[in-house]
Each structure stands twice: as C-alpha cells, then as structure tokens.
Amino acid sequence: MATVVVVETAKQFEEILEKAKRSLVVVHFWAPWAEQCTQMNDVLTELAKEYAHVIFVKLEAESVPEISEKFEISSVPTFLFFKNCQKIDRLDGAHAPALTKKVQQHSETAKQDLNDQLRKLIKSAPCMLFMKGTSQEPRCGFSKKIVEILNEHNVRFSTFDILSDDDVRQGLKVYSNWPTYPQLYVNGELVGGLDIVKEQAESGELDKICPKEMGLEQRLKTLINKAKVVLFMKGNKAMAKCGFSRTIIEMLNETGVDYETFNILEDEEVRQGLKTFSNWPTYPQLYVNGNLIGGLDIVKELKNNGELLSILKEENAS
C-alpha cells in the first residue's frame, strides 16, 4: 500500500529528491495547528494510493525552517513539485481539485519521460541485456547464467545494470509487461528472460536472431576501413599521447585532408593485433582505403618528396 513519507530533516529531504531522480515528488509543507493542512494530508494519502509511482512527502514547515526559507514558504498548506531535483511547480492553499489535477499532469509527463528513456536504452545496442550487475560481474545467479549462454553462443551484446537505476528497474517491468530480470532485447524487441533464452539456445533460434561477436581479424578490417584515411595512434586528434603521434598529426593537418583516428591506448587487443595483422611493429600507423601507408618515417619521407598530399588526395577522392 502506498504511503506518504514524513520528512523531519533537511538532509532527509535532499536524499529523497536525489534518490527520486526522474520520478515526480510532491511535497506538502504543513503545520499541525492548521485544520486545512490536516484535510490536505488526507487528500495526499488518497492520491498516494492512486499514483503509486509518485513520491508524496509531508514536511512540517516550522520544524525544517532552512527548507521552508529556501523555497519561500510563507503560508500553509503549500505544495511543491520536483523532478530531477528541480522544482517544477507550486500550489499555494488548500485546493484539493487543483492539487489532483497537477499531480495527474506532472505524473503523466514523468511517465512519458521515463518511457522515452526506456525506448532509447532498449535500442541503444542491437542486443541489449538488462541484468543485475555487469557481464563481467553479474550480481545474481539468473544474470550470471544468461551471460554465460550469450558468451557461449558468441553473441555481441551490451548490458544495463538495473541495480544502478531503480526508475529503470521498476519502469521496464511495466513498459514491457515482464515482471522479472534479466530481460533480453534484440533490435528493440523483448526476447524474454532466462528460461526463454535457454529454450532458444537449445533450439538454435538464438543463433539466428542475435548478432555475433566479431572476430579480431574482421574487427581490424572494419576499423582500417572505417574512413578513407585512418590513423592508429596514441591519443587522438585533439590530444596526442606521444611525440611520434603528435608529429604525424601535424603533418596530416597541414594537408587539409579529412581523416579519422583510433586511440590504441584504449584497446589492447587492437593495439597488439594490428601489429601482426599488418606486419608493422610500431605506432603510429596510417591507412588509406584500408591499405597500410606506413609509420612516421614513411609519412615524413612522402611529405619531403612532395608525394604525401597527392597520395592522400588521390586515394581520398570519392
């Protein structure tokens, strides 16, 4: 049964707002000596029953003066509405119909905002797993098992830790009409929980619907072809992390040719694998149309010979 939270300190008030995040919080600033406040407390209790996803709070205005002063509470009853720790509305006086209308309006907006976020999360990767913990550190047996199944089938997937966001944890159950976790989504559509994923793994259906993890060689081919000109370096265009990378960036910038960079310091697998793949032991490495041009010395030589710009422009032509 929904209840109204009684707040007695400023710290408690701030903690409630922080924990609520996107949820709507309705705060009743009241006083025990005001009969209208008692009546509106009864209204608040009834609203809490109807709007379970809204957080209703009672705060005795004179007992927590720092909060009352901060929000300029000069009379009771006064109602403040919060979302994302920000005040979004206010109602002064004992107006039950007006309070009910505002709660309805703001709760619908909060619900829509959450649904929009859930849609984005579900579609943030082709295969999305909502679980307790992460793929490296599952926090329950069901989540651990489903991660094992996906890894065994070489599925490429991303995860969202529902323990990190209670709004998502509770909201997704309603949004997808699925009461438990983990939940697996493919291309924005709910596949199901552990039992269904087990069944699909056994039937071979899982291999058909889920994207596969790319092998290292295929991944390297994709990376060197992600743009016409790609530089594998330490750091990036904005901040080179070694002198060789900084020098080659300066030379490329002088040509005016568009190029992409890949920071090898952020991916050890690519850093080591590309050396073998291209039979080139050092960095930086410059590629044009998927073909290795070379490192800093070769790029310097091409520049000194007047060939660098012509090579890049010719190879970069669409």
Residues facing residue 185 across a β-bridge: 128, 190
At 2 the pLDDT is 60
Measuring CA to CA, which residue among 211, 215, 228, 212 is closest to residue 273? 215
Give residue 96's pLDDT: 95
Percent of the chain scoring above 70 in pLDDT? 97
Helices 216-224 and 268-278, axial angle in degrees (round to 10): 80
Of 26-40, 88-102, 209-223, 236-250, the one with minimum mean pLDDT is: 209-223
What is the crossing angle of helices 296-304 and 243-255, to 10°?
A: 30
Q: What percent of the chain has pLDDT over 90?
A: 72
Is residue 170 over pLDDT 90? no
Instruction: Quote the mean pLDDT of the chain.
Output: 91
CA distance 173 to 186: 17
Q: How far apart are CA 159 and CA 163, in angstroms?
A: 12
Question: Taking Cα atoms as reference points, which of 126, 124, 295, 312 lies closest to residue 227?
Answer: 312
Mean pLDDT of 162-174: 88
The answer to whether 232 and 282 have CB atoms below 8 angstroms apart is no
pLDDT of residue 130: 97
- Do residues 262 and 274 lie in contact, with contact meaning Cβ atoms separated by under 8 Å? no
Average pLDDT over residues 146-158: 91
Asked if pLDDT for residue 318 goes beyond 70, the answer is no
pLDDT at 18 over 70: yes
Tens of pLDDT, residues 107-130: 888 778 888 889 999 998 889 999
User: Residue 1: is its pLDDT beyond 50?
Assistant: no
pLDDT digits (tens, 9 = 90+) for 251-297: 999 999 999 999 999 888 889 999 999 999 999 999 999 999 999 99
For residues 313 and 197, the model is more confident at 197
* Averaged pLDDT for residues 161-167: 87
Contact 176, 183 (CB under 8 A): yes
pLDDT exceeds cutoff 70 at 300: yes
pLDDT at 3: 79
